[in-house]
Amino acid sequence: MRKLIALVFHYSLNGLLADEGTDYYRFCFELLDEAGGASDDDESLDFLQGAHAHVMGRTAYEGMSTSLPAHPDHPWAGILTAGRKVVFSRTLETADWANTTIASGDTTEEIDKLRQGGDGHIIVWGGVTLWRSLMQLDLMDEFHVGLHPYIADEGTRLFDDVPKGYRLDLISSTVLRPTGVLELRYGRHR
């Protein structure tokens, strides 16, 4: 069965996501620019290309489907445009980005269909509402978290309104130099 993996970018030391327009958001993108842009190392690109599907909520989809096709030089643009994308939304009526379908039925059933079959994994890009929903349903298998060296005074708490709690196992941790971002991989303890 394919694993469901949440990609959590721009997570502060005190547990906030970088909301657009905040100082923390600006910091994250300045740090990204200092590091030369989005990860285009072989490991990151292989991970993205190896995905059976790229899952996102409506808001994440709307942002990515506008941004990436408009920037074909972005290292992830070709991979995501060619890849299978599934948008979880009960309000989105059309999805014009190539290879995109809309899942508006029961979330558990839709995820179970995606998990069946052969190789690859399923990347969950967000947003927060989708991540929380998948955590409440105990469907998430792994969290890949980019922990930034920043204490934010504003942003969204990812882990509000989630299950009472459950254990995670550390899979790996990597420090990105010179940014100081800590990439953490946790698996659901089952």
Which pLDDT value is given to residue 38? 62
Domain boundaries, the chain: 4-188
Q: What phi and psi, each to the nearest 5 degrees, are found at residue 68?
A: -65, -45
pTM, to two decimals: 0.92
Which pLDDT value is given to residue 3? 96
Which pLDDT value is given to residue 36? 65
Q: What phi and psi, each to the nearest 5 degrees, are found at residue 98?
A: -50, 145
Cβ proximity of 148 and 115 under 8 Å: no
Which pLDDT value is given to residue 161? 80
Which pLDDT value is given to residue 22? 94
Domain 4-188 homologous superfamily, CATH: Dihydrofolate Reductase, subunit A (3.40.430.10)
Question: What number of other Cβ atoms are within 10 A of residue 115's Cβ?
Answer: 17
H-only helix segments in 118-181: 128-136
The DSSP secondary-structure symbol of 141 reads: -
Mean pLDDT by 10 residues, the chain (190 residues): 94 94 90 68 87 96 93 90 96 94 95 91 94 93 95 92 86 90 94
Which pLDDT value is given to residue 163? 75
Q: Tell me the sheet residues that pair with 182.
A: 147, 175
Q: Give the chain's largest Cα–Cα span.
A: 44
Q: Please give the structure tokens belonging to residue 112.
A: 């179970």
